[in-house]
């Protein structure tokens, strides 16, 4: 049975840099507060109308496909992870298929937020291992700047996120010292509402999220989005930051150790850990807990903020472009996010 290897990787971030100080025009915050709590200095924001989650994905995909030495017409499956799709439906996968003039291949959309890319990679890995597909395009892309509360009310969330996209092409390999060794997926829905965007949705307050949705002025058939919801800013993401922190610092190390022990490795064997860029403090906590050196962990949240499903492929691509990953290196990708869901992938580059 073949393993899957990353045959090509690409990333795209919008040109527009938004520093912490740039945010002061919208909200009461400070560069000091943001850097101290999150490590973020700046992030990229997509052009309001010319760039979408899909167009950024296409730019990243073009690079990944070219580096894999193939053309868009060679791709036989698309897996697209995002929480900020161009449309509520259909998903972004078909928009990539259209924009890149691909054949009438399957296009799957993955909704696992910060863990989305690692989940998507795991799905692609299974299709390669089974022999079903030979060239799979796996994408993580987000346009967060479009849907956050940039008033002081939403500052605990909006200062964290940025826009961008990353993509890889998976292909089969029979090389002993190459490819994805294993992937590990987990979830715990107990905390589903701790990091979530409730509206628009069909929940109708069923789960007790009444503080975040008002259906009073909505009629049957028109409950998706109400005027009250918009007036009360209930159409923005909610996050209980400290609760997320507590869970993340337990589950990140757990899923990394799971990947390593499954394959007979220990943390010191790792050449590079690419953690989802949730927050620099979380990544530093994980590094310390696993006893990893600075050289063993790659972080770039300082410059891009948290790009959710795009953060792992962007960090992986940047690390590779900087020459930090060489053939045969042991690399671990790990993510934790809304759901909660968490996941890891261990691979030999
Ligand atoms: N600027 C200035 N002050 C702020 C800001 C801001 N952007 N945001 C919140 N504050 C204020 C609050 O109003 C509050 O003030 P008060 O004490 O007068 O009421 C104070 O700062 C502390 O607020 P908390 O929400 O408790 O902030 P906390 O110290 O927990 O830091 C943070 C928030 C950085 C989000 C932290 O909880 C954290 O690191 N959480 C981990 C979750 C995370 O990083 N999520 C990333 C996205 S999710 C993911 O990718 C998994």
pLDDT in tens, 222-263: 677 777 788 888 899 999 999 999 999 999 999 999 999 999
Nearest atom (ligand 1) to Cα of 156: 8
pLDDT of residue 95 exceeding 70: yes
- Asked if 11 and 150 sit in the same domain, the reply is yes
The set of protein residues with a Cβ atom below 6 angstroms from ligand 1 is 29, 33-34, 37-38, 114, 155-156, 159-160, 195, 241-242, 244-245, 248, 278-279, 281-282, 306, 336-337
Q: What is the pLDDT of residue 69?
A: 98
Averaged pLDDT for residues 259-283: 97
In this structure, the residue with its CA closest to atom 20 of ligand 1 is: 156
Whether residues 155 and 18 share a domain: the answer is yes
Beta strands in the chain (DSSP E): 3-12, 17-19, 42-44, 77-81, 106-110, 136-142, 164-173, 179-187, 195-196, 238-239, 272-275, 330-337, 341-348
pLDDT value of residue 221: 67
**% of the chain beyond a pLDDT of 70:** 96
Regarding whether 254 and 227 lie in a shared domain, the answer is: no
pLDDT of 213 reads 59
Q: Do 184 and 224 reside in the same domain of the chain? A: no
Helix (H, G, I), strand (E, B) or coil at 184: strand
Residue 25 falls inside a structural domain = yes
Q: Ligand 1 atom 40: the closest Cα is on which residue?
A: 241
In a domain, 252, yes or no: yes
Residue-level pLDDT at 214:
62
Q: Ligand 1: which residue has its CA nearest to atom 8? A: 156
- Nearest CA among 140, 236, 192 for reference residue 337: 192
Which residue lies with its CA nearest to atom 14 of ligand 1? Answer: 156
Nearest to 31 by CA among 41, 44, 18, 17: 41
281 and 157 assigned to the same domain:
no
Write down the pLDDT at residue 212.
Answer: 59
**Average pLDDT in the 297-309 region?**
98
Confidence grade of residue 285 (pLDDT, cut at 50, 70, 90): very high
Ligand 1 center to residue 343 CA distance, Å?
24
At 187-213, the pLDDT tens digits run 999 999 999 999 888 887 788 765 655
Q: According to the model, what pLDDT value does residue 225 have?
A: 78
CB 310 within 8 A of CB 140: yes
Q: How confident is the model at residue 106 (pLDDT cuts 50, 70, 90)?
A: very high
- At 280 the pLDDT is 97
Domain co-membership, 34 together with 73? yes
150 and 228 both lie in a single domain: no
**186 and 224 part of one domain:** no
Same domain flag for 98 and 187 = no
Once rounded to an integer, what is the mean pLDDT over residues 310-335? 98
Q: What pLDDT sits at residue 201?
A: 86
pLDDT tens readout for residues 2-56: 999 999 999 999 999 999 999 999 999 999 999 999 999 999 999 999 999 999 9
Inside any domain, residue 211: yes
Is residue 217 over pLDDT 80? no
CATH of the domain at 327: 3.40.47.10
Domain shared by 286 and 309, yes or no: yes
In this structure, the answer to whether residues 48 and 156 fall within a common structural domain is yes
Mean pLDDT of the chain: 95
CA atoms within 13 A on the CB side of 1: 10
Q: Tell me the HSE value of 331 on the side-chain side, using a 13 A CA sphere.
A: 27
Judge whether 146 and 84 are in contact, CB under 8 Å: yes
**Are 307 and 328 contacting, i.e. CB atoms less than 8 angstroms apart?**
no
140 and 107 in a common domain:
yes
Q: Is residue 319 situated within a structural domain?
A: yes
- Is 196 within a domain? no
How close is the Cα of 160 to the center of ligand 1, in Å?
Answer: 9
Report whether 37 contacts 20 (CB < 8 A): no
pLDDT score recorded for residue 203: 85
The rounded Å distance from CA 197 to ligand 1 centre is 17
User: According to the model, what pLDDT value does residue 56 have?
Assistant: 98
**Domain encompassing residue 31:** 3-173
Per the structure, the count of domains in the chain is 3
Residues taking part in catalysis: 114, 276, 306
For ligand 1, mutation pick of 192, 279, 302 (most atoms within 8 Å of CB)? 279
Q: What pLDDT, on the 0 to 100 scale, is given for residue 102?
A: 98
Q: 99 pLDDT exceeds 60?
A: yes
Each residue of 60-88: pLDDT tens digit?
999 999 999 999 999 999 999 999 999 99
């Amino acid at each position: 049975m073949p393993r899957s290897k990353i045959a090509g990787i690409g990333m795209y971030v919008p040109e527009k840099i938004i520093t912490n100080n740039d945010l002061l025009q919208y909200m009461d915050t400070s560069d000091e507060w943001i850097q101290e709590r999150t490590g973020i200095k700046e992030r990229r924001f997509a052009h309001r109308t010319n760039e979408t989650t899909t167009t950024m994905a296409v730019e990243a995909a073009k690079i990944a496909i070219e580096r894999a030495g193939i053309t868009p017409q060679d791709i036989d499956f698309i897996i697209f992870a995002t929480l900020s799709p161009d449309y509520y439906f259909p998903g972004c996968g078909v928009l990539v298929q259209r924009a890149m003039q691909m054949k009438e291949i399957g296009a799957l959309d993955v909704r696992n937020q910060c863990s989305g890319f690692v989940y998507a990679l795991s799905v692609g890995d299974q299709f390669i291992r089974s022999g079903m597909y030979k060239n799979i395009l796996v994408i993580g892309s987000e346009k967060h700047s479009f849907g956050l509360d940039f008033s002081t009310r939403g500052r605990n969330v909006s200062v964290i996120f940025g826009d961008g996209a990353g993509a890889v092409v998976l292909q089969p390999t029979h090389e002993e010292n190459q490819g994805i060794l294993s992937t590990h997926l987990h979830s715990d829905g107990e905390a589903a509402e701790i990091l979530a965007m409730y509206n628009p949705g069909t929940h109708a307050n069923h789960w007790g999220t009444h503080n975040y949705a008002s259906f009073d002025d909505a009629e049957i058939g028109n409950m998706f989005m109400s005027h009250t919801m918009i007036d009360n800013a209930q159409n923005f993401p909610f996050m209980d930051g400290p609760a997320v922190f507590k869970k993340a610092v337990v589950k990140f190390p757990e899923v990394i150790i799971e990947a390593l022990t499954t394959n007979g490795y220990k943390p010191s064997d790792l050449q590079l850990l690419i953690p989802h860029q949730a927050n620099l403090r979380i990544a530093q906590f994980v590094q310390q807990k696993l006893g990893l050196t600075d050289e063993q962990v790659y972080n770039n949240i300082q410059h891009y903020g948290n790009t959710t499903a795009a953060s792992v492929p962007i960090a992986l691509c940047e690390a590779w472009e900087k020459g930090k990953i060489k053939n045969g290196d042991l690399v671990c990708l790990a993510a934790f996010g809304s759901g909660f869901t968490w996941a890891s992938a261990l691979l030999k580059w």
